[in-house]
Amino acid sequence: MPVKAAAETTWNKGRVVGKKPPLTPDQVSLIRMILRQEKALRDLALFNVALDTSFRGSDLVRLRVADVATPAGVREIVEIRQKKTETRNVGEYRKVWGS
pLDDT (0 to 100) of residue 5: 60
As a whole number of angstroms, the distance between CA 90 and CA 60 comes to 17
Residues 6 or more apart in contact with residue 74 via CB below 8 angstroms: 68
Whether residue 63 is contained in a domain is answered as yes
For residue range 40-62, list pLDDT tens digits in order.
988 898 888 888 777 778 888 88
Residue 3's pLDDT band, with cuts at 50, 70 and 90, is low
As a whole number of angstroms, the distance between CA 46 and CA 53 comes to 10
pLDDT (0 to 100) of residue 32: 95
Whether residue 70 is contained in a domain is answered as yes
Whether residue 10 is contained in a domain is answered as no
Whether residue 68 is contained in a domain is answered as yes
Whether residue 7 is contained in a domain is answered as no
Which structural domain, as residue segments, surrounds residue 86? 25-95
Whether residue 17 is contained in a domain is answered as no
Whether residue 89 is contained in a domain is answered as yes
Whether residue 73 is contained in a domain is answered as yes
- The number of folded domains in the chain is 1
Report which residue type is found at 2: P
